[in-house]
Amino acid sequence: MKKAGVAILGLGVVGGGVYKILTDKREFFKKTQGLDITVENVLERNVERALSLGIEKEKIATSIEEVVSNPNVDIVVEVIGGIEPSKTFVLKALKSGKTVVTSNKELFAKHWPELEKAAKKTKAGLFFEATCVGGVPIIRTLIDGMQANDIQSIKGIINGTTNYILTKMTYMGYSYEEALKEAQKLGYAEFNPTADVEGFDATYKISILSSLAFNTKVTIDKVYREGISNVNIKDINYGKEMGYTLKLLAIGKKTNSGIEVRVHPTFIKSENPLASVNDSFNAVHLVGDSVGEIMLYGRGAGDLPTGSAIVSDIIFALRHEDFYYTPFRNEEDDKSAKFQSDFNTRYYLRLTVQDKSGVLTKISGAIAKSNISIMEVKQTSFVEEGKAEIIITTHECYESAMRKTIDKLSQMSEVYSVDGVVRIED
Ligand code: HSE
């Protein structure tokens, strides 16, 4: 039976999950995989935490050097997160020829080419299933299951924290602040929730996923990012009345003008399968030219779901002699790829305007002048004396045209304010 030793760097939620799966299922992996996998080292400052998980004292390393020089360690699992010291640790492991398995999406989104170069040099494996969508095997699907396809689009709900918050706002009528507080109480949102609620986490993930989908390095500066902290419950409710559900969608698309990648609150039709992905669940919808549509659904975070992705990478690595790397030129500045930043989409607008005759005509006239075609207009119920609230949805137009139009509308004396702008994906 093939024996293999693993080191775990960081024993937080995910590290604990990896340790638990590997130890609880040692016999199961012997039987199902013909592999005897043991944890040979952990690197964790909080020794109490390591001991409480049942790890023997002599396996708790005090430095990365100790880990990478341990001949019993074949695979190093990095689950610390953030850039440093993770980057230094991962590079040291790769330099020593150890295969690395990581869940670190920020490190991967920002430094993937450098890590891959280091791995190639020593022919070490570099695996990252757990960087995106936790337990959902999206990376392996893209690399090993979609080779016959020119992928047209990838759309997903890839951040559980924001999906939980939006679900509570949509179905329980919570304000953003109330929903965030509850997410923090349940441990879904961090004390400082910025990375999740401002869309950074989803940006890292869609940068990795769309690189694989479109065979070019999509750096994070190519991703348009807007979070959910300005989402107003009013827009969620008006959207519902019009048959839309609001989600923080990550979108990668191949268009005639280039690749466009974005993360922002988005109205999708309520019958779209992504609309029923609720609470902290994640889902990814892919369209390939051969296979058509594929959708994967599951838990994007948590100790055992993310641990599941990491352990599947460990087993995959142990079952392959030669490792392969990204199938595309993984460079920061791949000039052969064309990107489109001025994307084309539909819009929902909410305006507070003067409640008097002729105002609607003036507003729709201003929008028409910008060559933007209106799809639906509706005036909501009474706001306050002399003021009316108007909802407008448009056909597809360029983002730049819409921004100019919003500026124009804001300057009109009949318009008090443009209060809501939401993109619509049909
Ligand atoms: N913070 C992430 C989320 C989980 O809320 O989905 C880890 O990627």
Task: Confirm or reject: Cβ of 303 under 6 Å from ligand 1.
Answer: no
In the prediction, which pLDDT does 426 show? 83
Ligand 1 centroid from CA 278, angstroms: 14
**pLDDT higher at 322 or 88:** 88
In the prediction, which pLDDT does 15 show? 98
Distance CA 165, CA 173 (A): 11
Residues of 75-100 as b/e, b for ≥16 C-beta within 10 angstroms?
bbbbbbbeeeebbebbbbbbebebbb
Architecture in CATH for domain 2-131: 3-Layer(aba) Sandwich (3.40)
Q: Beta strands 258-269 and 223-225: pairing type? A: parallel
Please state the atom number of ligand 1 nearest to the C-alpha of residue 301: 4
Q: Is 205 a catalytic residue?
A: yes
Distance CA 397, CA 285 (A): 24
Q: Specify the residue for token string 């999950």.
A: 17
pLDDT (mean) for 137-145: 96
Protein fold of 344-425: Alpha-Beta Plaits (3.30.70)
CB proximity list for 142: less than 8 A, separation 6 or greater:
151, 209, 212, 213, 286
Count the Cβ atoms, other than its own, within 10 Å of residue 313: 26
Please state the atom number of ligand 1 nearest to the C-alpha of residue 188: 5
CB proximity list for 158: less than 8 A, separation 6 or greater:
132, 133, 202, 205, 206, 209, 250, 282, 284, 300
Task: Confirm or reject: Cβ of 250 under 6 Å from ligand 1.
Answer: no
Percent of the chain with pLDDT over 90: 93
Whether the pLDDT of residue 188 is over 80: the answer is: yes
Residue 382 pLDDT grade (very low, low, confident, very high; cuts 50, 70, 90): low
Q: Which is the catalytic residue, given 205, 222, 253, 254?
A: 205
Distance CA 260, CA 246 (A): 20
Task: Confirm or reject: Cβ of 196 under 6 Å from ligand 1.
Answer: yes
Mean pLDDT of the chain: 96
Ligand 1 centroid from CA 420, angstroms: 26
In the prediction, which pLDDT does 183 show? 96
Whether the pLDDT of residue 35 is over 90: the answer is: yes
Annotated domain spans of the chain: 2-131, 138-299, 344-425
CB proximity list for 42: less than 8 A, separation 6 or greater:
7, 8, 9, 11, 15, 19, 50, 55, 59, 60, 61
- Positions of E strands within 95-159: 99-102, 126-127, 151-157
Whether the pLDDT of residue 200 is over 70: the answer is: yes
Ligand 1 centroid from CA 101, angstroms: 18
Instruction: Give residue-wise pLDDT tens across range 224-279.
Output: 999 999 999 999 999 999 999 999 999 999 999 999 999 999 999 999 999 999 99
pTM above threshold 0.85: yes
Instruction: Give residue-wise pLDDT tens across range 384-420.
Output: 888 999 999 999 999 999 999 999 999 999 999 999 9
Domain 138-299 homologous superfamily, CATH:
Dihydrodipicolinate Reductase; domain 2 (3.30.360.10)
Count the Cβ atoms, other than its own, within 10 Å of residue 14: 27
pLDDT (mean) for 199-222: 97
Residue 321 pLDDT grade (very low, low, confident, very high; cuts 50, 70, 90): confident
Closest residue to atom 4 of ligand 1, CA basis: 301
Tokens of 302: 């948590």
Instruction: Give residue-wise pLDDT tens across range 291-319.
Output: 999 999 999 999 999 999 999 999 999 99
